[in-house]
Amino acid sequence: MKYYDKLIFELSKEGRKGYSLPKNQFPQSPELPLQLRRASALPLPEVSEPDVVRHYNNLSQMNFGVDTGFYPLGSCTMKYNPKINEEMAALPGFNALHPLQDAPAAEKVLAHMNDLLSAITGMHKFTFAPCAGAHGELTGLMIMRSYHIGRGDLGRTKVIVPDSAHGTNPASAAVCGLEVVQVKSLENGRIDIEALKPLLDSSVAGIMMTNPNTLGLFETEIKTIAKLVHEAGGLLYYDGANMNPLMGVVRPGNMGFDIMHLNLHKTFSTPHGGGGPGSGPVGVAKHLEHCLDGLKVSGFHGNFGVILRAYAYILSIGRENLRKVGQYSVLSANYIKESLKDLYKLPIEGVCKHEFVFDGLLNDGAHDDVPGATTLDVAKRLLDYGFHAPTIYFPLLFHQAIMIEPTETESKETLDAFIAVMRQIAAEAAQNPELLHAAPHNAPISRPDETAAARNPILKWQDTLPA
Amino acid sequence: MAAYLPHTEADIRAMLEKVGLKTLEDLYSDVPQEFLHRGEYDLPEALSEQELREWLQGLDAQTPRLKVFVGQGAYDHYTPAVIPYLTQRSEFITAYTPYQCEISQGTLRYIFEYQSLICALTGLDVSNASLYDGPTAAAEAMMMAVECTRRKTRVLLSATLLPHVVKVVQTYAKFHGVEIGLLPADGGETSLAALQAELAKDDVAGVIVPSVNRYGIVEDHSGFAEAIHAEKGLLVEYCDPSALAVVKTPAEWEADIAVGDAQPLGIPLCYGGPYVGFMAVRKDHMRKMPGRIIGQTADASGRRAFVLTLQAREQHIKREKATSNICSNESLMALWVTIYLSLMGPDGLREVNNLSSDGAHYLYGELLKTGLFEEVFPGKPFLKEFVLKSRVSGLQEKLAKAGFFAALPTEEGYVSFCVTEKRSKADIDALVAAIKEG
């Protein structure tokens, strides 16, 4: 990766063109009335096609993707994105389909996907409208509220969220007009059932859970939790961000969940695209099917192009390989955990699922007399060795959280190389912590000044500093 | 499938040994037995890559290949070849959200460019890194208006907004606890008189109006901002960003927020998505804006660098106090429109508008000449999209058989047409001939 310091605007030269349009064969249409016309200048860059190609190629070379190297970002399921799926999503017929057109073939894809996802999850019916995981959460909570309101049960305004939940869970609940009640975790990382019981009254709409939870631990008391919540009249929402380890092994529908979302860009291998487009279809149990009616959460049919990729993925996995996805993702996570737990703090012992959390290095730099380094330092040093960093400082249960999710598409050789580097970094932290504090040393840039960025926001080219 | 799973039998044995387990099933020993799915999954057997390709190509071949003459929120503009070529680069498409900024400067830089371009089009001060689509961007603006004005509880939507925008905003509002009022149209445009009457009720947090509306009419919002600001509400303009090259900008209308769908900037129709929503605001509202924002700063050696910034606004910090749950953006689609706007430049984008508008006006005239249509809003200015009253029943179905997607019936009983630069004079003449033949 090499540093490249241009913005497209800086390549602009008046009169240069990067487009080619057909000749105008029509009589000129009437001009817009003056008061409806744009009066201000249109400061778009004027560049040639070769300028554009070279510029964005140069930008791409300052980026790290799954195709560049190992990307153990916890809770993000950075698995390999199969290339055939890209080609299938670009098929000319689907690409040219207007969303308001009659499209039997596209409807067939959606109907087939509905059946496939229902088979994998044990849910009854999916909506494909949500464009992302958080969007799916919001949609799922709308369904939860619709269910209660539809029964005339108007007082259910609270949703229970574990303290280990993804940040989007409480935010989605708040946007959906629900009050968030937090339930704490036990020492063993699981939901505290005794703390949950008193919260379950007639004001509870439901609980949002991810299982395995964000510590990568299976909620072993899920049956009891489902029973308690259902007895109290609430519903169970499953955050499908952590579905990967359950592929082919456990179906959320069988555990008592009434509503769930899936992240097609995690579990079903569609590329993350630098932060989207994703797709967050929401599945419901049979007794909630009617709540999908009239719920319009996005413009048309969701991110159809992403759904096509996930469809291709499921067809290529097939019945006989589904279980391998879950099993190998879990095997890889446990393999890394067991290979590093003598140097990194493992707060909770035992078999994890697709991911696990260390609470920083044993030498975490918190004690002046012992050389060490923080989780941030470890993460930045990993970049020097050609690995993406894990998710850091999440979940919030631990101060120095390092959340590692390898996925099933990484080889043992890659995992061994990562383990070796993590051990090397632990050694560096003890011998030369300064090396880590100043990392990365060979990325395109060194650590930027984030405080200055927030204090003096420069948010567009040639920005005058807003007050 | 095995192609994506590098585990050999020997690897699995060695890894199991390291973790102290005998079988892969032991990895799930903590899962209650009753939840382990014992039966066969109801899925087809794995397809080889060739079989998969043939299956999907077969489905694709069943899609009707119609010439598109409809817009209504999804516009068939041309996609230059450079865009899919560049957006398919592994380093862009297989990256996650740019959390590790030192190895994500490519993503961060193009989003910064995207923000700059959205500000250039709208004339407003600050853009976020993008949202899901136009309708959800409008819903975010609705919630933001309430958050910015606090004691105000109602948001007005113009009845001339595209139907899918109205429905999505209504859905969000119902659950977010925001009352929605619909502003009736007068002569096909948002009515200033109706707006003033509603504003007098003193509870209006914001007003969302279309710059170019569901009938294709370029609306005149003279006096809107003044009236709304006098009552301390926010003016939100819903825009087609392609049209902003030629129509009055949100900034020129003195709007506080601009939202819309950037799909018309070269994103394929693809049955409705992925598209990309945009939002730009005046700088006074910057800290209430949802979504990611990229800012410029310097690294330790003083080189220009870009980072995620102003994160105190975001869901992962605010959690249950959040007023938006947006986590990611539609990054790759933001790259898509960034490259599109770079290629088109100011002249190209104006030319796209001219070609589309000239073609649409030509079609409008030719349709009237058939004697089978009546004008609905005579004299109202439009660009690429318009509605007429049709005297032919079942016109859309008839045209579909002739190879056209056109004359989409609207809620009001009109038929809607749209022409982009992709439609030649020959295409239009063929459409009109098909209509005449009935």
Q: What are phi and psi of B217, to 5 degrees?
A: -75, 135
Q: Measured between alpha carbons, how far is B385 from A293 in angstroms, rounded to an integer?
A: 30
* Single pTM value for the model: 0.97
Residues 171-230 of A with CB under 8 A from B: 171-177, 179-180, 182, 218, 220, 222-223
Q: Measured between alpha carbons, how far is B67 from B403 in angstroms, rounded to an integer?
A: 6
Residue type, A454: A
Residue in B102, B286, B338 nearest the CB of A444: B102
Average pLDDT for residues A126-134, to the nearest whole number?
Answer: 97
Residue A325 has pLDDT above 90, yes or no: yes
Using left for φ > 0, alpha for ψ between -120 and 50, and beta otherwise, residue B8 falls in: beta
Interface contact B268-A96, CB threshold 8 A: yes
A92 touching chain B per CB within 8 A: yes
**Which residues of chain A make contact with B49, given a CB cutoff of 8 A?**
84, 316
pLDDT score for A467: 39
- The residue in chain B having the minimum alpha-carbon distance to the alpha carbon of residue A324 is B5
**Which residues of chain A make contact with B82, given a CB cutoff of 8 A?**
18, 49, 52-53
CA distance B201 to chain A (A): 24
Least confident range of A7-16, A181-190, A384-393, B191-200? A181-190
- The residue in chain A having the minimum alpha-carbon distance to the alpha carbon of residue B424 is A25
CATH of A324-443, one of 3.90.1150.10, 3.40.1160.10, 3.40.50.10860, 3.40.50.1000: 3.90.1150.10
Q: What's the token pair of residue A165?
A: 């939940």
Cβ atoms < 10 Å from Cβ of B220: 17
**Which residues of chain B make contact with A301, given a CB cutoff of 8 A?**
271-273
Interface contact A22-B355, CB threshold 8 A: yes
Residue A465 has pLDDT above 50, yes or no: no
- Which of B302, B318, B339 marks a domain boundary? B339
ipTM: 0.97
Q: Measured between alpha carbons, how far is A97 from B294 in angstroms, rounded to an integer?
A: 33
- Count structural domains, chain B: 2
Residue in A174, A276, A459 nearest the CB of B330: A276
Q: Measured between alpha carbons, how far is B433 from B401 in angstroms, rounded to an integer?
A: 13
Task: Name the nearest CA neighbour of B275 among B262, B266, B258.
Answer: B262
Q: Measured between alpha carbons, how far is B165 from B133 in angstroms, rounded to an integer?
A: 10
Looking at the structure, do residues B75 and B98 belong to the same domain, yes or no?
Answer: no
Q: How far apart are the first and last CA of chain B?
A: 51
CA distance A430 to chain B (A): 24
Q: What is the dihedral of CA A382, A384, A388, A393, to 10 degrees?
A: 40
pLDDT score for A13: 97
Residues 225-264 of A with CB under 8 A from B: 248-251, 254-255
User: Domain ranges in chain A?
Assistant: 97-317, 324-443
Q: Is B55 inside a domain boundary?
A: no
Q: Is B229 inside a domain boundary?
A: yes
Residue in B27, B65, B354 nearest the CB of A334: B27
CA distance B65 to chain A (A): 7
Looking at the structure, do residues B316 and B377 belong to the same domain, yes or no?
Answer: no
**Which residues of chain B make contact with A337, given a CB cutoff of 8 A?**
19
Interface contact B121-A42, CB threshold 8 A: yes
The per-residue DSSP string of B40-83 comes to: --S-PPPPPHHHHHHHHHHHHHTS--PEE---TT-------THH
Looking at the structure, do residues B252 and B300 belong to the same domain, yes or no?
Answer: yes
Report the CATH number that the domain containing residue B358 is assigned in CATH: 3.90.1150.10
What residue numbers bound the domain in which B425 lies? 67-79+345-437
Looking at the structure, do residues B153 and B118 belong to the same domain, yes or no?
Answer: yes
**Which residues of chain B make contact with A84, given a CB cutoff of 8 A?**
49, 52-53
Residue in A248, A335, A391 nearest the CB of B41: A248
Residue in B73, B91, B343 nearest the CB of A61: B91
Q: What's the token pair of residue A392?
A: 């850091």
What are the CA-CA distances from residue A442 to residues A1, A446, B162 (Å)? 8, 8, 50
Interface contact A88-B52, CB threshold 8 A: yes
Q: What's the token pair of residue B247?
A: 């129509």
Contact assessment for residue B312 and residue B323, using Cβ atoms and an 8 Å cutoff: no
Give the number of residues written for chain B.
Answer: 438
Q: Is B12 inside a domain boundary?
A: no
Interface contact B270-A94, CB threshold 8 A: yes
Interface contact B273-A446, CB threshold 8 A: no
Interface contact B269-A438, CB threshold 8 A: no
Interface contact B307-A448, CB threshold 8 A: yes
A87 touching chain B per CB within 8 A: yes
**Which residues of chain A make contact with B168, given a CB cutoff of 8 A?**
296-299
Q: Is B241 inside a domain boundary?
A: yes
Residue type, A455: R
Q: Is B103 inside a domain boundary?
A: yes
Q: In what order do the strands lie in the sheet with A158-162?
A: A125-127, A282-284, A259-262, A235-240, A204-209, A158-162, A179-183
Residue A148 has pLDDT above 70, yes or no: yes
Contacts for A373 with CB less than 8 Å, ≥ 6 apart: A361, A363, A364, A365, A381, A425, A428, A429, A433, A436, A437
Residue type, A108: K
A408 touching chain B per CB within 8 A: yes
- Which of B318, B339, B360 marks a domain boundary? B339
Contacts for B97 with CB less than 8 Å, ≥ 6 apart: A272, A274, A275, B292, B328, B329, B331
pLDDT score for A281: 98
Average pLDDT for residues A293-301, to the nearest whole number?
Answer: 96
Residue in A65, A99, A394 nearest the CB of B271: A99
Contact assessment for residue B106 and residue B90, using Cβ atoms and an 8 Å cutoff: no
Burial category of B82 from C-beta neighbours within 10 Å (exposed 0-12, middle 13-18, buried 19 and up): buried
Q: What's the token pair of residue B334?
A: 């933001």
Bridge partners for B238 per DSSP: B210, B259
- The residue in chain A having the minimum alpha-carbon distance to the alpha carbon of residue B253 is A36
Contacts for B150 with CB less than 8 Å, ≥ 6 apart: none
Q: Is B415 inside a domain boundary?
A: yes
Residue type, B63: T
Contact assessment for residue B213 and residue B235, using Cβ atoms and an 8 Å cutoff: no
Q: What are phi and psi of A128, to 5 degrees?
A: -100, 5
A332 touching chain B per CB within 8 A: yes
Contact assessment for residue B387 and residue B415, using Cβ atoms and an 8 Å cutoff: yes
Q: Measured between alpha carbons, how far is A464 from A456 in angstroms, rounded to an integer?
A: 10
Tell me the count of A-B CB pairs closer than 8 A.
Answer: 671
Contact assessment for residue B377 and residue B412, using Cβ atoms and an 8 Å cutoff: no
**Which residues of chain A make contact with B341, given a CB cutoff of 8 A?**
44-45
Contact assessment for residue B153 and residue B161, using Cβ atoms and an 8 Å cutoff: no
Interface contact B292-A275, CB threshold 8 A: yes
Task: Name the nearest CA neighbour of B169 among B134, B138, B199, B211.
Answer: B138
Q: Measured between alpha carbons, how far is B141 from B324 in angstroms, rounded to an integer?
A: 10
Q: What are phi and psi of B361, to 5 degrees?
A: -70, -35
Q: What's the token pair of residue B10?
A: 């020997």
- The residue in chain B having the minimum alpha-carbon distance to the alpha carbon of residue A146 is B175
Q: Measured between alpha carbons, how far is B316 from B311 in angstroms, rounded to an integer?
A: 9
B348 vs A167 pLDDT, higher one: B348
Radius of gyration of chain A (CA): 25
Average pLDDT for residues A50-72, to the nearest whole number?
Answer: 98
- The residue in chain A having the minimum alpha-carbon distance to the alpha carbon of residue B330 is A276
Task: Name the nearest CA neighbour of B135 among B236, B244, B257, B260.
Answer: B260
Interface contact A109-B59, CB threshold 8 A: yes
A298 touching chain B per CB within 8 A: yes
Interface contact B345-A47, CB threshold 8 A: yes
A331 touching chain B per CB within 8 A: yes
Q: What's the token pair of residue A68?
A: 């560049």
Task: Name the nearest CA neighbour of B109 among B367, B296, B330, B356.
Answer: B296
Residue A420 DSSP one-character state: H
Q: Is B107 inside a domain boundary?
A: yes
**What band does A175 get if pLDDT is binned at 50, 70 and 90?**
very high
**Which residues of chain B make contact with A76, given a CB cutoff of 8 A?**
96
Residue B381 DSSP one-character state: -
Intervals of chain B under pLDDT 50: none
**Which residues of chain A make contact with B271, given a CB cutoff of 8 A?**
94, 97-99, 101, 103, 106, 300-301, 304-305
Looking at the structure, do residues B233 and B315 belong to the same domain, yes or no?
Answer: yes
Report the CATH number that the domain containing residue B304 is assigned in CATH: 3.40.640.10
Is the bond into B80 cis (omega within 30 degrees of 0)? no
Interface contact A317-B349, CB threshold 8 A: no
Looking at the structure, do residues B400 and B272 belong to the same domain, yes or no?
Answer: no
Interface contact B133-A298, CB threshold 8 A: yes
- Which of B287, B322, B339 marks a domain boundary? B339
Looking at the structure, do residues B132 and B278 belong to the same domain, yes or no?
Answer: yes
Q: Measured between alpha carbons, how far is B323 from B14 in angstroms, rounded to an integer?
A: 49
Residue in B36, B57, B424 nearest the CB of A25: B424
- Give Cα A196 distance to the centre of its chain: 27
Q: Is B54 inside a domain boundary?
A: no
Q: What is the dihedral of CA A45, A46, A48, A51, to 10 degrees?
A: -40
pLDDT score for B1: 53
Residue A168 has pLDDT above 70, yes or no: yes
Task: Name the nearest CA neighbour of A354 among A76, A71, A134.
Answer: A76
What are the CA-CA distances from residue A7 to residues A51, A249, B339 (Å)? 11, 48, 12
Interface contact A95-B270, CB threshold 8 A: yes
Q: What are phi and psi of A180, to 5 degrees?
A: -95, 125
A59 touching chain B per CB within 8 A: yes
**What is the H or E stretch that residue B405 is in?**
strand B404-405
Interface contact A35-B316, CB threshold 8 A: no
Interface contact A45-B121, CB threshold 8 A: no
Residue in A55, A383, A445 nearest the CB of B299: A445
CATH of A97-317, one of 3.40.640.10, 3.90.25.10, 3.90.180.10, 1.10.8.100: 3.40.640.10
Looking at the structure, do residues B380 and B330 belong to the same domain, yes or no?
Answer: no
Query: Which SS3 state, helix, strand or coil, does residue A23 take?
Result: coil
Q: What are phi and psi of A168, to 5 degrees?
A: -70, -25
**What band does A464 get if pLDDT is binned at 50, 70 and 90?**
low
Q: Measured between alpha carbons, how far is B231 from B428 in angstroms, rounded to an integer?
A: 47
Residues 365-404 of A with CB under 8 A from B: 379-380, 383, 388-389, 391, 394
Residue in B5, B32, B130 nearest the CB of A223: B32
pLDDT score for B296: 97
